[in-house]
Amino acid sequence: MSSRQPAQYAFGQMYAFDGLALFFKRFFLLAALIVLLMSVEFADCIEAGIAEFYALTLFALSGMLFASSANTSPCYSCRLSSSPSPSTC
């Protein structure tokens, strides 16, 4: 997607796909690939829990990919409210 195309939105404009989101998606995918390639060397040292390591890495990656396209903050309504206490977020 080039930067000249307008952003595409989904879920009531809460999920945006634009140039910035695409950049961060590629960055996170590259970082996860590097982590997984580096972990192959140490897989023999970790006898128990290697499946959990790979699952945690992939779940974290999926969260980062979703968050990179977020168009709104999860605490957006708290910033607009007149409540002085941030504990309501």
Query: Which residue, chain included where needed, has tokens 């829990």?
Result: 49
Is pTM beyond 0.85? Reply is: no
Residues ≥6 apart with Cβ < 8 Å to 2: 19
Q: In total, how many domains does the chain have?
A: 1
Q: Give the pLDDT score at 84.
A: 56
d(C-alpha 65, C-alpha 67), whole Å: 6
Q: Is residue 9 part of a domain?
A: no
d(C-alpha 77, C-alpha 84), whole Å: 13
Segments forming the whole domain that contains residue 62: 32-70
User: Over the stretch 2-29, which tens digit does the pLDDT of each residue have?
Assistant: 456 777 777 777 777 888 888 999 999 9
How confident is the prediction for the chain on average, in pLDDT? 78
Q: Is residue 62 part of a domain?
A: yes
Strand-pair partners of 10: 15
Q: Is residue 37 part of a domain?
A: yes
d(C-alpha 32, C-alpha 23), whole Å: 14
